[in-house]
Amino acid sequence: MTALLELDHVTLRFGGVTAVDDVSFTVEEGEVFALVGPNGAGKSTVFNLVSRFYDPAAGDIRFMGESILKRPPHDIARLGIARTFQNIELFEQATVLQNLLVGRHRHRGTWLLNEVLFTPFVRNEERRHRAAVEKVIEFLDLQPYREKYIAGLPYGVRKVVEMGRALALEPKLLLLDEPASGLSVEETQDVAFWIEDIKKQMGITVLMVEHDMHLVATVSDRVLALADGKMLALGTPREVQGHPAVVEAYIGAHAKSKVMA
């Protein structure tokens, strides 16, 4: 297995706060890698670094062997990295279908002139995109919501659409930012199944931030625990859950003895 994403001693500071402190890890191709940690640990910040919304103060980030630090944010999708957002950044005034179609932007084969004229080539491309999006709709069972505007949809459905939009990109690496937050038990189970299918059937590598330790334990191959921007433990879910530093960060030193590994 080759390393798909590498963070190499990455540090990021916001004014006086060090949000990410000398973090290094590798995500292997085909695995599901989870980032865990208490709030403010820097997990979403790592995502935003990979998405190139921030520039690290030190360190390198490599995707498929090449550094991405010189690339602007909109190039990241073209490389094959898709992401979801913690607070759902969908296009509110558009339908689910239109949102998913924007996910296809990376595969746009048409340009200004023939789009305005709507040549037959453009029509064929539109059919191709529509078919690709339909596959995502089938995978996520979004059929009843195709023509609905996001503004009227419940939270659970929006999270699914957000994931669908990222999948429509046909990425190599999928960044999921708290995919289960705010979801019910059944919805979280659905997410677990989807992540498994994404990994096994679609061959997409998944890097996710998550608080739900049960979900993490079920789907992840490896876990990295962060706290205050620093790395605490890296390993299988079991190893990390039982690691003393992790327990201390989550629960506190006194309760260490009461935790079952």
Partner 1 sequence: MDVLQLVVSGLANGCVYGLIALGFVLIYKATEAVNFAQGDFMMLGAYVCLGLTNEQFLGLPFWFSVPVAILIMGAFGYLLDATVVRRMFGQPQVAVIILTIAIGFVLRFVAGLIWGHQPVSLESPIAGRDVRFGGVVLGLDEVAVIIVTVLLTVLLYFYFNRTRLGIAMQASSQNQLAAYYMGIPVKRLNSLIWALAGAVAAVAGILFAAKGSIEPSIGLLGIKAFAAAVIGGFGSLPGALLGGIIIGLIEPFSSRYLAAGFSHIVPYLLLFLILVVRPHGILAQVHSKKV
Partner 2 sequence: MRTVFKTSYDADIDLFRHSAQAGWYVLLTVIAVALPWLVNTFWLGEATNMLIWAIAGMGLMLLVGQTGQASLGHAAFLAVGCYANVLLQQRLGLPFILSFPLCGLIAGIAGVLVAIPTARLHGIYLAIATLAIGILIDDLIVVAEPLTGGVMGLFAPDISIFGLTINRYGNPWLLYWLVLFVTVLVVLAYRNIQRTPLGRSFAAIRDSEVSAKAMGVNVAKTKAVSFGLSAAITGLAGALMGHFAGIFNNETFNIIISIQLLLMIVIGGLGSIHGAFFGAMVVAVLPQAIAISRDLVTGALGMGSVAIPGMEAAIFGIILMVFILFEPMGIYGRWLKIRTYFELFPFYRRDMFRRQRSYLKTERMR
Q: Is 257 in the site for partner 1 (CB under 8 A)?
A: no
Find which of partner 2, partner 1, none residue 44 binds, CB within 5 to 8 Å per kind.
Answer: partner 1
CB atoms within 10 A of CB 241: 21
Region near partner 1 per CB under 8 A, out of 34-42, 82-90, 95-103, 251-259: 82-90
Q: What is the size of the binding site for partner 2 (CB under 8 A)? A: 45
d(CA 121, CA 140): 29
Q: Is 123 in the site for partner 2 (CB under 8 A)?
A: yes
Region near partner 2 per CB under 8 A, out of 14-22, 57-65, 70-78, 223-231: 70-78
The CB-of-74 to partner 2 minimum distance in angstroms stands at 5
- For partner 2, the closer CB: 66 or 89: 89
- For residues 136-175, which are near partner 2 according to CB under 8 A? 151-152, 165, 169
Q: Which residues of the shown chain bind partner 2 in the complex (CB under 8 A)?
A: 51, 53, 72-78, 82-83, 85, 89-94, 97-98, 101-106, 108, 110, 112, 115-118, 122-123, 126-127, 129-131, 134, 151-152, 165, 169
Q: Which residues of the shown chain bind partner 1 in the complex (CB under 8 A)?
A: 44, 48, 53, 85-87, 89
